[in-house]
Every structure is written in C-alpha cells, then in structure tokens.
C-alpha cells in the first residue's frame, strides 16, 4: 500500500478522497492555492502543501509544482480527483517518470481515450455501437458536406480533443455547415490546441446513460451498472440517478451496455475506475459517446446503490492489488439521486455567484449523503468552478428517493450567496421527471415553460468569462502564453461577476 497520497485537487472531491485515505489509514496531503488557504479540504488534512497563486494554471494545473510538493512531503502516489489534471496524459506520464503512482489509468490509455476520434476507433474495434458519423477528423468543408448528406441533418460538429461542450456546433442544413465548421475549429484550436473536428449524427432528445467500470492491472474488468445523467443544462449534467429509469424498465439493457463498456475498457488497455458514456434512444438502442478516464462527479449514486466505495477501489488497484469483485457479486439495491449544488443564480441565467457563506445548515438523517467542500463563514472563491456540494439520497424506490431529496433540499440553508436549491425543488416537481421520461432536452423545456426570461446578458457574459478562463488555462497547461490583455480582461470580468 502507499506510504502517503497527495490529493492534487480542491473542494468537495479533495475532501471526499481525503476521507477515503483516512479510512484506509493512509496519510493524505492536501494542496492549496492562495485562494484556498482556508478551504475545508486544507482544514481537514493532516498535512497541506501550498502550490501557488489563485489562477489554476499556476496551481492546480501546474504539474511540476504538484510533483515537487509530492516529493517534499514524501508522497508516493497522487490522486487527481476529477477536472484539473485528472485526464492529462502528460501529467500521468510525468508521475510515472518520477516514480509516483498516478491513481488512475496509465498515460497510454488516457491518451488513447482522450481523443474522441481515437476513442471511437477503439469502441468500434470492441464491437460497440457508436453514434453514426466520421471515424476521423474531417479534412475539408466539402468532405464534411458529403458526410452530413449521407448521415442526414441535423449533425453535430465536435472537437476531437473536446470536453465541456467546447468546439461543439449543431448544424441543421448544408448552408450553415461551412461557417459552423470554421467556428468550431477555431474554438477547439483555442481551447485544446487542436482544431480537429469530426461529425456525429445529432440524435434528437437522447438519454445520457453511462456505465461505471472497474479494472485491475491484471486485466480483470467488471462494470457497476449505469447512471442516468440526462438532466443537463447546456450539455452539462445537473441531476444524476442510479439506476436509470429506462434501464430499470428494460432488464437486459444493463447487461448489454455493461458488456459493451467492459469490452471498450479492455480494448483501451484500461485499468482503474472509468466511465463509458452512451447516448440512448427511447427504444433502448445505445451508442458509444466517449470515455472519461477518471472518477466522475456523480460517482456517489453508484456507491449508494452498489454499496461499494469507488475511491477505496481506485487506491487498492493503483497500489497493484487485485480487484476482488466478480461481476456476479455486483448487486443494485434501491434508488439514488444526486443534485449538484452550485453558487449560481437560476433567476439570472445561472450566473455564478460565489461569495461569503454567512450561514449554513445542511441536511442529514436516513438515506442522505452530503459531499461538501464548504463551511459557514468561508468565502467561496471566484477562481474556480462554483460547485459547493453534492447532495445525494438513497431510498428503496425512485418515488421514495424523490421525496427524500425534496425533504433534504428543504433542510438546506445556505445564506449570503445565491444557489440553485430552489431550482431543484421546482424541477423535482416536473411531471415528466416524476414519470422518469427523461431526455437531454427536459431541463430546457422546463425552463422555457416555467421561468421568466432572464434579464440582460449577465449569464452570457459570465459564460464567456468562464470559457475564457478555461481556455487560457488549457493554453497555459499546454505550455502557451496568456497575453497580458487577456489576463486584464479576465480580471475585470471576475470583478464584475463579484458585484
Ligand atoms: P463533452 O465532452 O464536451 O462534454 P460529450 O461528447 O460528452 O461532450 O457530450 C455532452 C452532451 O452533449 C451529451 O450528454 C449530450 O447531451 C450532448 N451530445 C453529444 N453528442 C451528441 C449527439 N451526437 N447527439 C445529441 N446530443 C449529443
């Protein structure tokens, strides 16, 4: 087992991993930037290392600094959590070279699955259905037009190196294609340093259903069933559940999707925990979308229903231990839901609203799990994703889980900042949600029906600022320079968001 593990992340996920380390009696080291000196994950860690200024390019994305901190504290492994460097093959490789275990898959598997086109090749080779489209990036607008004509509009242009919805464009007709391709390519080039774009058939109102896999270093791979993450805003997950209401009605679907996911992981040479994402139609046809080579934000719902601790298994497997679970040992019991609680204003286009938490009461009681990264009196920094906590519940049935979530949301008191708790309370009353008739357009419909139009351009501006932050971060993490004019604009934008 490891001597000591450095957790190269912040917020609720750093807290969650430090807790697992404590249970395994492995000393943990937290890291923090200037903005996080007083953060919960630092407070609860036995040891902590300062890694730089607030901007994540200079701290949580600074691989060299993280490796120095690991060496200085005598850590022989790094857990990257999710986001930041968790899917960065170069960082995983640097850890391997430094003789520090990266708690995740090998750098080669991260690289293979990190490119969406390469991942599509692997999924196809594993005999899994993939979303119709091109296997590789398109070389010209003419080629794109020919492909789109063949698969039929609407089509989705996607960045091969993509993530977070960047470099994605929906195209309804041929005359929109060439400009959309140019836009998508330049956005992708800026964000990821690669302007490669491929094409997928745009599936109308699909469901997002993903399979959790676990694989040890000896090639033993199992799946832990699905999570349904169809409740999304701007293609980003907001509420997740396990099991999927669709899969619960089609008992053989879990086995078929699970087997496909295991074949894909095997084909990728994968070890550790990973998630194979699929889009499904209402009839239960499913298509490979991408693989996330890390722990997912929404992993608690799988833990609640299977009774397994994914972070414990990640650590044991990374240390070379065998995965002692057989597929037939895995059982799914009851129903779990998770809401991502953000410091944001649902009445103003979900504008991020970090700030000081003047009062805080959070729910507990039977069937409630809270993964939180905040405490009363702490100021949520503006420098990072404003996720405050994940509220998850377990109950024997979906109906009971929804009622329990409503009870738990009702017990949340977060004063001093705006949050999306009220939005969840309303969404959970939605008739389609209650029926389990989910698809990726449900929240947009719900918002269009139920909410007054937001004022001004505040949300759009915040989204632009956050996108630009992510863009400069990924540029800098690729060794690029951030021009001073961009830094200035970002600083001004951040100041405006704070007002
Ligand atoms: P990213 O990695 O940028 O988050 P993904 O490929 O994981 O992008 O897709 C995110 C979401 O975008 C999906 O859950 C789904 O809602 C939507 N999406 C992606 N591809 C398609 C497609 N071909 N058809 C319809 N929706 C899609």
Residue 496: per-residue pLDDT = 45
| CA of residue 137 to ligand 1 center, whole Å | 17
Closest C-alpha residue for ligand 1 atom 11: 235
CATH of residue 70's domain is 3.40.50.20
Would the CB of 443 count as within 6 Å of ligand 1?
Answer: no
Answer yes or no: is pLDDT of 149 > 80: yes
Would the CB of 205 count as within 6 Å of ligand 1?
Answer: no
* Closest ligand 1 atom number to CA of residue 168: 3
Do 242 and 367 belong together in one domain?
yes
Residue 450: per-residue pLDDT = 77
| CA of residue 306 to ligand 1 center, whole Å | 27
Would the CB of 177 count as within 6 Å of ligand 1?
Answer: no
Do 303 and 232 belong together in one domain?
yes
pLDDT digits over 378-397, tens only? 999 999 999 999 999 999 99
Q: Is residue 115 part of a domain?
A: no
pLDDT above 90 covers what percent of the chain? 88
Do 282 and 362 belong together in one domain?
yes
Residue 461: per-residue pLDDT = 47
Range list of β-strands (E), 243-309: 272-280, 286-292
Q: Is residue 301 part of a domain?
A: yes
Closest C-alpha residue for ligand 1 atom 18: 235
Instruction: Compute the C-alpha angle 485/491/495, nearest 5°.
Output: 145
Q: Is residue 23 part of a domain?
A: yes
Do 174 and 222 belong together in one domain?
no
Would the CB of 441 count as within 6 Å of ligand 1?
Answer: no
Closest CA to 66 of 36, 99, 31, 92: 31
Would the CB of 440 count as within 6 Å of ligand 1?
Answer: yes
Do 303 and 402 belong together in one domain?
yes
CATH of residue 245's domain is 3.30.470.20
* Closest ligand 1 atom number to CA of residue 440: 16
The pLDDT of 88-99, averaged and rounded, is: 98
Do 156 and 224 belong together in one domain?
no
If one counts every other C-beta atom within 10 angstroms of the C-beta of residue 399, the result is: 12
108 compared with 488, residue with greater pLDDT? 108
Q: Is residue 379 part of a domain?
A: yes
Residue 479: per-residue pLDDT = 44
Q: Is residue 281 part of a domain?
A: yes
Closest C-alpha residue for ligand 1 atom 1: 163
Say if CB 247 and CB 257 are below 8 A apart: yes
State which residues form the domain around 480. 458-498
Say if CB 210 and CB 226 are below 8 A apart: yes
* Closest ligand 1 atom number to CA of residue 167: 3
At 282, is the pLDDT very low, low, confident or very high (cuts 50, 70, 90)? confident
| CA of residue 107 to ligand 1 center, whole Å | 24
Instruction: Compute the C-alpha angle 27/31/34, nearest 5°.
Output: 150
Do 266 and 385 belong together in one domain?
yes
If one counts every other C-beta atom within 10 angstroms of the C-beta of residue 61, the result is: 22
Do 336 and 214 belong together in one domain?
yes
| CA of residue 290 to ligand 1 center, whole Å | 9
Do 320 and 405 belong together in one domain?
yes
Peptide bond into 154 cis (omega under 30): yes
CATH of residue 186's domain is 3.30.1490.20
Do 298 and 417 belong together in one domain?
yes
| CA of residue 234 to ligand 1 center, whole Å | 10
Ranking 81-85, 160-164, 491-495 by mean pLDDT, the lowest is 491-495
Q: Is residue 122 part of a domain?
A: no
Would the CB of 133 count as within 6 Å of ligand 1?
Answer: no
Closest CA to 421 of 360, 342, 491, 493: 342
Do 181 and 323 belong together in one domain?
no
Q: Which residues participate in catalysis according to the annotation? A: 294
Tell me which DSSP letter residue 307 carries.
-
Do 156 and 60 belong together in one domain?
no
* Closest ligand 1 atom number to CA of residue 202: 24
Would the CB of 208 count as within 6 Å of ligand 1?
Answer: yes
| CA of residue 440 to ligand 1 center, whole Å | 9
Q: Whole-number mean pLDDT of the chain?
A: 92
pLDDT above 70 covers what percent of the chain? 90
Domains held by the chain: number: 4
pLDDT digits over 438-478, tens only? 999 999 999 999 754 433 444 444 444 554 454 444 444 44
pLDDT digits over 292-337, tens only? 999 999 999 999 999 999 999 999 999 999 999 999 999 999 999 9
| CA of residue 235 to ligand 1 center, whole Å | 6
Q: Which of 164, 204, 206, 238 has most ligand 1 atoms within 8 Å of its beta carbon, as the pocket-test mutant?
A: 206
Q: Are strands 77-79 and 5-7 parallel, antiparallel or unpaired?
A: parallel
* Residue where a domain terminates, one of 201, 229, 252: 201
Q: What is the pTM of this model?
A: 0.91
Residue 165: per-residue pLDDT = 87
Q: Is residue 109 part of a domain?
A: no
Would the CB of 119 count as within 6 Å of ligand 1?
Answer: no
């Amino acid at each position: 087992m490891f001597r000591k593990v450095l957790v190269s992340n912040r917020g609720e996920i750093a807290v969650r991993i430090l807790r697992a380390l404590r249970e395994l009696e492995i000393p943990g080291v937290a890291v923090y930037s200037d903005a996080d000196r007083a953060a919960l994950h630092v407070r609860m860690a036995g040891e902590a290392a300062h890694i730089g200024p607030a901007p994540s390019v200079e701290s949580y994305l600074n691989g060299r600094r993280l490796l120095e901190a690991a060496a200085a504290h005598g850590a022989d492994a790094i857990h990257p959590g999710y986001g930041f460097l968790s899917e960065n093959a170069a960082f995983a490789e640097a850890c391997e070279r430094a003789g520090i275990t990266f708690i995740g898959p090998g750098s080669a598997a991260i690289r293979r699955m990190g490119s969406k086109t390469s991942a599509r090749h692997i999924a196809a080779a594993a005999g899994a259905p993939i979303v119709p489209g091109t296997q590789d990036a398109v070389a010209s607008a003419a080629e794109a037009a020919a492909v789109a004509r063949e698969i039929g509009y609407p089509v989705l242009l996607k960045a091969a190196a993509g993530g977070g919805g960047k470099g994605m464009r929906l195209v309804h007709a041929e005359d929109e294609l060439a400009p959309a391709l140019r836009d998508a390519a330049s956005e992708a080039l800026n964000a990821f340093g690669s302007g490669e774009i491929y094409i997928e058939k745009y599936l109308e109102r699909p469901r997002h259903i993903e399979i959790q896999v676990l694989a040890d270093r000896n090639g033993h791979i199992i799946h832990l069933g699905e999570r349904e993450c169809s409740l999304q805003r701007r293609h980003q997950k907001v509420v997740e559940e396990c099991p999927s209401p669709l899969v619960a009605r089609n008992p053989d679907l879990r086995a078929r999707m699970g087997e496909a996911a295991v074949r894909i992981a095997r084909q990728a040479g994968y070890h550790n925990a990973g998630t194979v994402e699929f889009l499904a139609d209402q009839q239960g046809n499913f298509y490979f979308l991408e693989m996330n080579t890390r722990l997912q934000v929404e992993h608690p719902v799988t833990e609640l229903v299977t009774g397994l601790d994914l972070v414990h298994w990640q650590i044991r497997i990374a240390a070379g231990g065998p995965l002692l679970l057989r597929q037939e040992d895995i059982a799914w019991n009851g129903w779990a839901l998770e809401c991502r609680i953000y410091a944001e204003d649902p009445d103003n286009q979900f504008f991020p609203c970090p700030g000081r938490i003047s009062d805080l009461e959070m729910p507990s009681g039977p069937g409630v799990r809270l993964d939180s990264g905040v405490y009363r009196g702490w100021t949520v920094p503006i420098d990072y994703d404003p996720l405050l906590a994940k509220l998850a519940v377990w109950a024997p049935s979906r109906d009971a889980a929804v009622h329990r979530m409503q009870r738990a949301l009702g017990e949340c008191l977060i004063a001093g900042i705006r949050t999306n708790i009220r939005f969840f309370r309303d969404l959970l009353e939605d008739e389609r949600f209650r029926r389990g008739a989910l698809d990726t357009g449900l929240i947009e419909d719900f918002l269009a029906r139920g909410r007054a139009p937001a004022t001004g351009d505040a949300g759009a501006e915040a989204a632009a600022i956050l996108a630009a932050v992510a863009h400069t971060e990924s540029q800098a993490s690729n060794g690029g320079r951030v021009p001073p004019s961009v830094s200035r604009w970002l600083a001004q934008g951040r100041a405006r968001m704070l007002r």
